[in-house]
Amino acid sequence: MMITAQDAKLANWICASISIVILSVRLVATRYRDKAFDVASALVAASLAVLVVRIVVVYLYLLYGTSNDVLYGSKTYFDESDLANIKAGSILSLIARLLITTFYWLQICLLLLFYSSIVRDFHWINTIRTCWLLIVTTYVAVVLSTFLECHPFRLYWQIDPNPGQCVRAYVQLFMQGISNIVLDLFLLAISFPMLSMRNRTWAQSARVSGLFVLGFFTIIVTCLRIAYIHAENSYQPVRSFWASIQMLTSTFVANAPTIYGCYQIVRRRKSEQRARRSSRPEIWLQLNESPSRSENAPTPPPVAVVRTNETGRDDEKAWSRHVS
């Protein structure tokens, strides 16, 4: 079934909206957990900004059309004679490719930060540094391939004479896809020591296995994206549709582990608070009980009891009121 511009617009709205929700939940959860705005929070905020801009850019270039769609794709969703719109749409499509590349790489950075905190004790510092270097190198390579595949630059929106195959942006597609796959495999390799850890519960083993399943799922989605776009001659709505699908996938994979970890921490804190509250009646009961002793037995000296409340301050006044 052919993917139309309307399908691509719908996928853009749905996937971007869900991704924004996931990122917002992570931002709120980490702030509640750590009470600090760290590097990961800054990356999440940058991802949200990129998503918002991409929503607008994708809508516009799908509305205007691109030169690739005039030359090789369907001609039903835009006015072919409006060369100014085609030029604007072609330029916006390049901006959208830059935005989606930036978004993918931001999610990879978030996932690397997550894995780095877990495998810190495995002495993989050099491997992690190599991965950071690989992230920067591949990002620069994809950005260069985005804007330098057609030379001179005007070929990106040229209709007559035919600019050739460069407007299909296959080099950019394969560079981005292969780089994504390599980085995902690298991240899986970094997290591999977690599989060999002993003395884990069944639930812990399931969570670690889930991380690997999510990583391989991202690779599968990337491969499907490349295959479908190539099969459809790099038709722009198809590129946009699959870029949105991969965007949602990468957002979920990069942020779900952290959101789950925050949820577990919050649940543990609430459980500890309930346990402290429920233990107080027993403490007062023990204080008020008078143990049976003989009349000739000496009375033990009073013992000062200081109880600390949840905020860490002494609660001596409350204790004295209750005892009296």
**Is residue 108 within 8 Å of 183, Cβ to Cβ?**
yes
Q: Where are the domains of the chain?
A: 5-267
Average pLDDT over residues 17-32: 90
Asked whether the predicted pLDDT for residue 2 surpasses 50, the reply is yes
Domain 5-267 classification at class level: mainly alpha
CA dist., res. 150 & res. 171, Å (int): 10
3-state SS, one letter per residue, for 32-56: HHHCCCCHHHHHHHHHHHHHHHHHH
> Who has greater pLDDT, 309 or 324?
309
Residue 290 confidence class, pLDDT cut points 50, 70, 90: very low
Residue 314 β-bridge partners: 308
Q: Burial-class residue 31 by CB neighbours within 10 Å (0-12, 13-18, 19+).
A: middle
* DSSP 3-state of 308: strand
Average pLDDT over residues 102-115: 93
- Confidence (pLDDT) at 292: 47
Asked whether the predicted pLDDT for residue 252 surpasses 80, the reply is yes
Residue 312 confidence class, pLDDT cut points 50, 70, 90: very low
Taking every pair of Cα atoms in the chain, the longest distance, rounded to a whole number of angstroms, is 115
Kindly calculate the radius of gyration of the chain based on its CA atoms and give it in whole angstroms: 29
What is the tens place of the pLDDT at every residue in 25-42?
Answer: 998 888 776 666 788 999
Mean pLDDT for the chain? 80
Please count the other Cβ atoms lying within 10 Å of the Cβ belonging to residue 120: 11
